[in-house]
Amino acid sequence: MSKRGWILVFLVAIGLVVWAALLLRSPEPQASQAAPVFRGVQVEPQGAFRMVDGPAQISFPRDHGPHPDYLTEWWYYTGNLFTAEGQHFGYQLTFFRRALLPPEDRAERTSSWAADQVYMAHFALTDTGAGTFSSFERFSRGAAGLAGAQAEPVYQVWLEDWQVTEVSAGRYRLEAKSGEVSIALDLVDIKGPVLQGEGGYSPKGAQPGNASIYNSQTRLGSAGTITVGEEQYAVSGLSWMDHEYSTSALGEGLVGWDWFSLQLDDGSELMLFLLRHEDGTLDPYSSGTLIQSDGSTRPLAAEEFEITPTGTWTSPHTGARYPAAWEIRVPGEEIALAVRPRLADQEMRLSFVYWEGAVRVEGQRQGGPVSGNGYVELTGYAHSMQGEF
């Protein structure tokens, strides 16, 4: 064999061994950024969740607590707070409960971690002075003391260290902290619980069962501290609490709602919600409540108020187009209000996307000037809320 021939043989031999090695070797394991896919088995429930199909006997403190036989429930705290110098902050702290199984399907379990309820919480802070908005989300099982709600011995709703706890009758401590942002407030219920709709029964559509039980604490005197990074602010102002539970809150064809909670400086509050159809039209079951300064309430049917958007804002993050200013009229009460967001971008980009933000209110009531603060929630603009709750 020639010299070249030999070199060839060796090259081939080396090639063969390298090839065999590569063949036998599995590709070097690489951790990718991709998320694993979990395909769970779908088990058809035997039973069904309880439906809200008519007015209920509501009794406090019991009904401040959870109603686990209904599919969803939430405790919604929002508020407008000011420092002594007048710097404005808005906050939202919401606890969502969702049942995993209808009552009949729940098995007897021996582990205290066994959960048939899951909790989610959202926390947001609007720092109007700095022009910043931060939002956070958490999940936990409603078991092992990690998250839950209770009416007795004292009212409490919590997810880990985010919590609202009753410290004495009508007085609460609200705490939440995430990253650089934290809030700690003492709340005092000035007016007592308010039942929305017909004594707490709030229909959301013509179909029986498309309704919720809805009550609020519309005027919670608030004082405490807000921390942003190294800065600590002593703040005071007003908060609003909504507690609502249901099994089917959105009727067919509805994509979302616009919800307003406005606290006026004449001592009254106005709650309004619009249910929106896919085609943009409003549902006749949209409604509201006027809470007078003495605590008496006047339910408002859809035809008793008008809400006219006067501006829009398109989210640069999601592309969703939200109404961004409104004119609100309640002719029967001679109320005409202009509502403007404190900050344009108060979009909550979490498991689902919605806009929930602090607003400033100015206008007239019965000829006199009136002003105030509030919160507005706009859902179903980035994606339909159908099936989410």
Partner 1 sequence: MMQGTVFLPAGLRRVGWRYFVLRWRQSLFMVLGIMLGVAMMVSIDLANASAEEAFVLSSEAVTGKATHQITGGGPGVPEEVYTHLRREGLEVPLAPVVTRYVSSPRLGDRPMQLLGLDVFADAPFRGYMGEQASGGEQGLIAFLTRPGAVALSEENAARYGLRPGDTFEIELEGRRKEVFLAGIVQPPDDLSRRTMEGLILADIAAAQEVAGREGWLDRIDLILPEDSQALEERIRDLLPEGLQLAPVEARGGAVAEMTEAFRVNLSALSMLALVVGLFLIYNTMTFSVLQRRPLFGTLRCLGVTRGEVFGLVLTEALWVGLLGSLLGVALGIALGRSTVGMVTRTVNDLYFTTTVQAVGIPVGSLIKGGAAGLLATLITAALPAWEAASVPPNTALVRSVLETKVKGLVKWSALGGAGLIGSAVGLFSLPEQSLGLGFGGTFLVLIGFALLSAVLLAALMRAVEPFSRRLVGLIGRLAPRGLVSSLSRTSVAVAALMVAVAVAIGVGLMIDSFRYTVTVWLDQTLQGDVYISAPSFSANASLSEIDLRVVEWIQSQEHLGELYILRSTRVESRSGPVQLSASSNLEVAEERLYAQRIGGSDTVNRALSQGAVLISEPLANRMGLNAGDSLELLTGRGWRSIPIAGVYYDYSSSEGGMLMLLPVYRSLWQDTAVTALALRLPPGMDADLISRQLEEETSSLQRLNIRPNRQLRAEVMQVFERTFAITAALRILALLVAFVGVLGSLLLLQLERQRETGILRALGLTGRQLWGIVMLETGLMGLAAGLLAIPTGYTLALILVYIINLRSFGWTLQMSIQPSVFAQAVGLALLAALLAGVYPAWRISRMPAAEAVRYE
Residues that bind partner 1 (CB under 8 A): 3, 6, 10, 13-14, 17, 20-22, 24-27, 29-32, 34-43, 98, 100-101, 105-107, 109-116, 118-120, 139-141, 143-146, 158, 160-161, 177-179, 351, 388
Query: Which residue, 182 or 318, is less far from partner 1 as judged by CB?
Result: 182
Closest separation in Å from C-beta 161 to partner 1: 3
Query: Residue 118 is inside which H or E element, if any?
Result: strand 117-127
Nearest CA-CA partner of 134 in 164, 174, 95, 178: 178
For 386, what's the count of Cα atoms within 13 Å in the CB-facing half-sphere?
A: 9
Query: Which residue, 35 or 84, is less far from partner 1 as judged by CB?
Result: 35
Place of tokens 């958007």: 309
Exposed / middle / buried, residue 22 (Cβ in 10 Å: 0-12, 13-18, 19+): exposed
Query: Which residue, 10 or 60, is less far from partner 1 as judged by CB?
Result: 10
Query: Which residue, 42 or 57, is less far from partner 1 as judged by CB?
Result: 42
Closest separation in Å from C-beta 236 to partner 1: 24
Closest separation in Å from C-beta 84 to partner 1: 27
Query: Which residue, 44 or 294, is less far from partner 1 as judged by CB?
Result: 44
- Long-range contacts, stretch 318-321, CB < 8 angstroms, 24+ apart: 318/347, 318/349, 318/353, 318/382, 319/382, 320/347, 320/353, 320/355, 320/381, 320/382, 321/381
Closest separation in Å from C-beta 117 to partner 1: 8
Nearest CA-CA partner of 72 in 233, 173, 204, 161: 204
Query: Which residue, 70 or 375, is less far from partner 1 as judged by CB?
Result: 70
Q: What is the CA radius of gyration of the chain?
A: 27
Closest separation in Å from C-beta 291 to partner 1: 32
Closest separation in Å from C-beta 26 to partner 1: 3
Closest separation in Å from C-beta 376 to partner 1: 24
Closest separation in Å from C-beta 132 to partner 1: 19
Residues in the chain: 389
- Long-range contacts, stretch 165-174, CB < 8 angstroms, 24+ apart: 172/220, 174/77, 174/93, 174/222, 174/224, 174/239
- One-letter amino acid identity for 313? W
Closest separation in Å from C-beta 145 to partner 1: 4
Q: How far apart, in Å, are the Cα atoms of 194 and each of 214, 217, 219?
A: 9, 6, 10
Query: Which residue, 150 or 371, is less far from partner 1 as judged by CB?
Result: 150
Question: Can you spell out the DSSP letters for 341-362?
Answer: ESSS--EEESSSEEEEEEEEEE
Closest separation in Å from C-beta 222 to partner 1: 21
Query: Which residue, 256 or 363, is less far from partner 1 as judged by CB?
Result: 256
Nearest CA-CA partner of 160 in 121, 193, 187, 198: 121
Nearest CA-CA partner of 322 in 287, 349, 302: 349
Query: Which residue, 154 or 343, is less far from partner 1 as judged by CB?
Result: 154
Query: Which residue, 178 or 289, is less far from partner 1 as judged by CB?
Result: 178
Query: What is the distance between the alpha carbons of residues 232 and 122, in angstroms, rounded to a whole number?
Result: 22
236 near 193, Cβ under 8 Å? no
